[in-house]
Chains A and B, each alone.
Chain A
Amino acid sequence: MTLNSRLRDHPNDLLWLLLACLYLIPVFIASNSYFNLSVLLLALFNINLWGKMSWRSLALFALIMILPLLSLFVTVLIYTRGAQDTPVIMNICGFNIYRLAWQNAIFLTVRAGCLAFLSFSFLLAVHYDRLVLSLLQNFHLSPAVGYALLITFNALSYMREEYSRIRLAYLMRFRKRIFPLNLIFPILVSATRYAHFAGLSLECRGLNREKTYLESYRWQKKDAVILLINLCQIFSLIALFVINEWFSIRWQ
C-alpha cells in the first residue's frame, strides 16, 4: 500500500467546486421546473455516491429556507406583470390566482430553491482544509495565503469558544442576557492575540519555503473519471428533456 493510498480515499475537493458549477449552470439556464428538480436530485445522488454529506444539516437548511422561499412564491404570485390577462385558475380567500402568476411563482421558487440547495449541498461536501491544500498543490497558491486561510478556519472555532467564555463571564458578573457593545473589546483583543501567535507559529516553522506535502491532493485520474461521469449524466438529462419537449410539441 502506498503512502498516498493510505491517506487519500476521497475525491479531490476541487472536484466539488467544478461539479457545483456543472450543476448550477443548467439550472440557471433551464426554464423547466422538472428539469431543475431532476438536476438537484442527480447532484444529491452523486454527492452521496462519491463523497459524504450531512443529511441533518441539509434538513436544517431546508427548514431555514421555507420562509424565504414562501415569501418569494407569494411575492411573485401577487406582482407578476401582465398576469391579469391570463385566466384565473383558482380563488383563495377572495384573491384571484392567475395562470401566469402561478406558473412564474412555481418556476422561480423551484429555481431559487434548487440553486440554494445545490450550493449548500456542495458546500457540505467540501472539506475546507482539503480544498485549501488542493489549491496549494494544484494551482501553486502562495503558502502564506493558503495557511492564512487554514488558520482563519481554526480561528473561527477558537473564537467561538472564546466568545462563549466571555459571554458567560459577562452573564455571571452582571446577570444580564443582553450584551453591551464593550463585550466586543475582549473578543477583539483575543482575536488579535490569536492572529499574532498564529502568524509567529507559521514563521517559526519556516513557512514560505519550497515545501513538500505529506498528503497529496493533486488532481488524479480518478477525479477526472468522476467529472466525466457527471458530465455524461448531465448531458443525458438535458438530452432527455430536449427530446421530451420535442415529442410533446410534435404530438400537439
Chain B
Amino acid sequence: MNNPVYNINNYSLLYPLNDQPILLKGELEIREKDTLLLSGNSGSGKTSLLYTLKGLIPETIWGKLGGTIYFRNRNIIDLSPLEKAQIGLLFQNPACQMVNRTVRQELAFGLENLGISPSDIWQKITYLAEEFAIINLLDRDVTRLSGGEMQKIALLSIMAMEPEVYLFDEPTAFLDPDSARHFIAVFQRIVQQKTVIVVEHNLNYLQDYINRIIQINEQHEIKELDTKLFSWHQSFPALPAVSPGESILKVRNLKFGYTDNPILFQGVDFELREGEIVGIVGANGSGKTTLLKILAGNIRKYIGNVLYKNTDIRLLKPKIYFQDISLLFQDPANHFLFSRVIQEVSGRSDLLRISGLTGFGERNPFTLSEGEKRRLSLAIQWAGNRQIYLLDEPTFGQDYASRLALIDLVGRLRQQGCSFIIAGHDYAFLAAVCTRILEFKQGTLQPREIRQ
C-alpha cells in the first residue's frame, strides 16, 4: 500500500462573521498516487477543504480550524512555505490567478519562485507548450485570452512546478469537451505518479482516471464510494417538445473579428423562434460569448444583420430592445445591485418561490451559493418579463441539483413563450433543454445533432 499523504480527522472550519461551521465528520486518509474525486453538494465545503489542504487556512485565509489535518505526518498548519510549494492548487476562476502580463511569464512564474535556472525554465515551458499545443499563445497578453485558454494556462503554470500533490477546483469548467479530454489524457500521463484531488461537476471526462471517490453527504459525513457503482454520466430529464412559434430573431450573414483575429466567425445565419431554445457550442475562443454580446447589442460593429422582429437591432433604441431581451453573464453576481435578495426581484416573493429561493429574501445576494446565485440572476430577468434570454455558460460552477433546478426554471419560462439562446460546454445540459444545437466549426455556425 502506498504511503499516506494526508490524514484528515473530524475536520471543521468556522469563517469569521459566520455562525455555521463547515463540518466533515469521520476520518479520511489520502495516499500517494490516489486520484481522488471530492463529491458533494454546493456549499458542503469542498473548496474550503482544498484551501485547508494547501495550507492557506488559517494563515492566509482567516478561519478557525478544528480536528486534525496531517500532511506527511506533519500538522498542516506547521508546514513551511517550501513544503507548501509541494502542493499545487488550481482555483475555480482562472482570470483571478493571472499575475504576469504574458503567458510565457505566467508559466515561468512558479518555476522562478522555486529558483530554477532560466535555461531550465525555458526548456520546461517549451515542452509544455508543445505537449499542450499552446505555442501560439506564449507571447499573448493574459488579459486577451478566452476563459478556456486562461484555464489551460492556469493549469499548466501549476503543472510546470511539478508539485507532489495537485488540488484542482473544477479544472475543466471553462474547457470545451475536446480540450478537456485532451488535457486530462496528457495530464494523466505526466502526473501518474502524483496524488491528485479533484472537485469537479463535469464528471464525464474523469471516469477513466479517478481511483477513489469521497462524498460529503448532507449529514457532513465523509463516505467512500465505489468507483464502479458511481453514476459517472449525468443525465438530465429532457424538456417536453413544443412546436415553436413565429421567428423573432434573425441573424443574417454575420461576420465579426478582433484586431488580432480578423475573422472570428463569418457567414453566421440562424433564426430563433418563439418558445425555442437554441444551444451554441464550440471550442474555446470560437466566438460563443462574442455572438451573445452581438445579439445583446453590446457589440455594434460587425458585418451582416441581426433582426429583431424584422428590425435591425442597431436601429432599435436600447430602451426598446432591452424590454424584450436579456443577457445573463457567466458570473451571476454581475447582475446583483442590492443588499437583499427580495430587492433584486422588485419585492416579488412569487418569483423567489418559483426559483427555489423561498426564505432567502433577506439574505445578501453575494452570500448565496453558486446555484442560488444563478437562479436569482434568472429570477431578476424574469421580473422584467423578457421575451429572449441569452445565457452564457449557465451551468458554470453548478452542481447536479442546481442544474436540475435550472432546467426546471428554463422549462417554466419557455411555457410562457420565452425563447433562449444558451452558449456553453455542458453538452448533457444543453441536450436536455435545447430544441436544437448549433456548433462553431472553423469560423462558421453549423447545426449539430442532439444526442441524449
Residues on A facing B (Cβ under 8 Å): 3-4, 128-129, 147, 150-151, 153-154, 157-158, 162, 164-166, 168-173, 175, 177, 180, 182-183, 185-186, 189-190, 193-194, 196-216
A209: B residues at CB distance < 8 A: 81-82, 113-115
CB closest chain-A residue, reference B142? A154
Q: What's the dominant secondary structure at chain A's contact region?
A: helix
Chain A residues closer than 8 Å to B114, beta-carbon distance: 206, 209
A residues less than 8 Å from B331 (CB atoms) = 165
Q: Contact check: which of A128, A189, A199, A206 meets B366 at CB < 8 Å?
A: A189
Residue from A128, A172, A186, A194 within 8 A of B336 (CB atoms): A186
Q: Which residues of B contact A182 (CB under 8 A)?
A: 337-338
* Contact present for B89 and A214 (CB under 8 Å): no
Supposing A211-B112, A211-B113, A215-B105 touch, asked if A173 and B335 sit within 8 A by C-beta, the answer is yes
Minimum distance in angstroms from B113 CB to a CB of chain A: 4
Instruction: Let me know if A200 and B61 touch, CB within 8 A.
Output: yes
* CB neighbours of B434 from chain A (8 A): none
Q: Are B91 and A197 in contact (CB under 8 A)?
A: yes
Residues of A within 8 A of B116 (CB): 212
Cα-based distance from A214 to B138 in the complex (angstroms)? 13
A175's partner among B101, B108, B319 (CB-CB below 8 A) is B319
Q: Is B329 an interface residue (CB 8 A)?
A: yes
Residues of A within 8 A of B102 (CB): 129
Q: Give B95's nearest chain A residue, CB to CB.
A: A158
Q: What is the CB-to-nearest-CB distance from A135 to chain B, in angstroms, rounded to a whole number?
A: 15
CA distance A69 to B381 in the complex (A): 48
Asked if residues A206 and B334 are in contact (CB atoms below 8 Å), the reply is: no
B380 touches A173 (CB 8 A): yes
| Apart from the given pairs A154-B143, A189-B366, 4 other A-B contacts in the complex at a CB distance below 8 Å | A172-B322, A205-B113, A212-B118, A214-B112
Tell me how many residues of B have a C-beta within 8 Å of chain A. 64
Cβ of B243 within 8 Å of any chain A Cβ, yes or no, is no
Shortest Cβ-Cβ A-B pairs, 9 listed:
A197-B96, A129-B101, A214-B108, A206-B113, A157-B143, A201-B97, A205-B110, A206-B85, A172-B322
User: B117 is contacted by which of A154, A172, A208, A212 (Cβ under 8 Å)?
Assistant: A212
| Chain B positions 148-194 with a Cβ under 8 Å from a chain A Cβ | 157-158, 161
B323 at the interface (CB under 8 A from A): yes
Bound Cα distance from A193 to B333, whole angstroms: 11
Query: Quick check: A200 and B334 within 8 Å, CB to CB?
Result: no
Bound Cα distance from A202 to B109, whole angstroms = 9
Which residues of B from 249 to 305 have beta carbons under 8 Å from A?
296, 298
Whole-angstrom distance between the Cβ of A223 and the nearest chain B Cβ = 19
**Chain A residues positioned under 8 Å from B335 (CB to CB):** 169, 173
Q: Are B121 and A214 in contact (CB under 8 A)?
A: yes
Task: List, in ascending order, chain B residues with CB within 8 A of A180's CB.
Answer: 337
Does the CB pair A212–B142 fall under 8 Å?
A: no
Asked if B100 contacts A129 (CB within 8 A), the reply is: yes
Q: Are A213 and B112 in contact (CB under 8 A)?
A: yes
Cα of A201 to Cα of B157 in the assembled complex, Å: 11
List the B side residues contacting A202 at CB < 8 Å.
99
Given A147-B99, A165-B329, A215-B105; A206-B337 close (CB under 8 Å): no
A168-B327, A169-B335 known; A197 vs B93 contact (CB < 8 Å):
yes
Q: Which of A147, A151, A200, A214 is close to B122, meaning CB atoms less than 8 Å apart?
A: A214
B318, A171: Cβ atoms under 8 Å?
A: yes
Those of B206-262 within 8 Å (CB) of chain A: none
Closest to B332 in A: A169
Q: B residues within 8 A CB of A172?
A: 296, 322, 325-327, 381
* B337 and A168 contact, CB distance less than 8 A: no
Given A172-B325, A197-B91, A204-B54, is A183 in contact with B337 using a C-beta cutoff of 8 Å?
yes
- The answer, yes or no, to whether B98 is at the interface (CB within 8 Å) is yes
Q: Which B residues are in CB contact (< 8 Å) with A185?
A: 337, 339
Instruction: Give Cα distance in the complex from A182 to B112, angstroms.
Output: 42
Q: How far is the CB of A177 from chain B (nearest CB, A)?
A: 8
